[in-house]
């Protein structure tokens, strides 16, 4: 009997790369999901099964999990990937935008875990691979609300890892650094729309946009989605998966530096990076 892998947010980026990689692995039946199934129809040719799943819709989430459990008894591996970055300053970002981001990145993410766990417990095994971010360990300006959602992913995964272990369920968080997906474009678009062009944070937003554009274009700082997919595969198949997999050398360096430097020195570093701030 094959292991059923359910992947959320598989229409692009990390989710798509994970579906393509795991579909090639013997013993796995991959269920790739997206809000619009037509956006992932081509993944069927790669060996995946395609389902509709919107992590902001309870019926949609329950139906997808039920479909997998009907065929396999339980979800063997949940790759909890759906999410996006809504950028803007703390003062300027509208609360409706903040709520939408938490609905996807935290509440839908959490509900998927709740839906698959009963089947995993009954089976006595399972893997939950949560896609977090370097941004769940370190915070940059103009991304505070996004970072808050990823700090939540870290906390939920840490609690889950302990709670689910007695039932044979392993939980892991993947912490990507800069990955060349549509994330950067979405972050830039929402940041530009979050405040007035001549507003009090215009200089800061311009500096953040410049930093983001430069970093994503860097061959040293950014990586392709398959770098994350490889870690997802390890977390799904290792006999003893790590609690965390941090992706890209730059992400590891930044997290380690933030821990060593403390808030004061790290803030000085940020002021240098965002020196066009008014």
| Number of C-beta neighbours around residue 264 at 10 A | 8
How far apart are alpha carbons 16 and 34 in whole angstroms? 10
Which residue is it, tokens 């939980």?
Answer: 171
Q: What are phi and psi of 83, to 5 degrees?
A: 175, 170
> 5 and 76 in contact (C-beta within 8 Å)?
yes
84, 87, 145, 146: which is the annotated catalytic residue? 146
Our answer to whether residue 146 is catalytic in this structure is yes
Beta bridge partners of 129: 79, 172
The CA dihedral of 239, 244, 250, 255, to the nearest 10 degrees, is -150
In the chain, which residue ranges form alpha helices assigned H by DSSP?
Answer: 13-23, 58-72, 95-102, 109-123, 144-164, 183-193, 202-217, 225-237, 249-273
The residues assigned a catalytic role are 146
């Amino acid at each position: 009997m094959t292991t059923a892998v359910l992947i959320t947010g598989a229409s692009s980026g990390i989710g798509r790369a994970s579906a393509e990689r795991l579909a090639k692995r013997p013993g796995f039946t991959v269920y790739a999901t997206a809000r619009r199934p037509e956006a992932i129809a081509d993944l069927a040719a790669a060996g995946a099964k395609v389902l509709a799943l919107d992590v902001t819709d309870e019926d949609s989430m329950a139906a997808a999990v039920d479909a997998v459990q009907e065929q396999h008894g339980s979800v063997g591996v949940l790759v909890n990937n759906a999410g996006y970055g809504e950028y803007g300053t703390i003062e300027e970002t509208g609360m409706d935008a903040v709520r939408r981001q938490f609905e996807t990145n935290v509440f839908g993410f959490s509900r998927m875990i709740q839906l698959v766990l009963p089947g995993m417990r009954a089976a006595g095994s399972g893997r939950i691979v949560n896609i977090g971010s370097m941004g769940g360990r370190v915070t940059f300006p103009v991304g505070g609300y996004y970072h808050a959602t990823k700090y939540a992913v870290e906390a939920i995964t840490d609690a889950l890892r302990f709670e689910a272990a007695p039932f044979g369920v392993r939980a892991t968080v993947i912490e990507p650094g800069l990955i060349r997906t549509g994330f950067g474009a979405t972050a830039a678009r929402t940041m530009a729309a979050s405040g007035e062009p001549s507003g009090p944070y215009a200089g800061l937003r311009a500096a953040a946009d410049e930093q983001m554009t430069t970093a994503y274009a860097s061959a040293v700082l950014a990586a392709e989605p398959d770098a994350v997919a490889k870690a997802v595969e390890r977390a799904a198949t290792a006999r003893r998966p790590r609690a965390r997999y941090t992706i890209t050398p730059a992400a590891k360096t930044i997290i380690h530096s933030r821990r060593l430097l403390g808030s004061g020195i790290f803030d000085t570093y940020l002021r240098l990076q965002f020196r066009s701030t008014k």
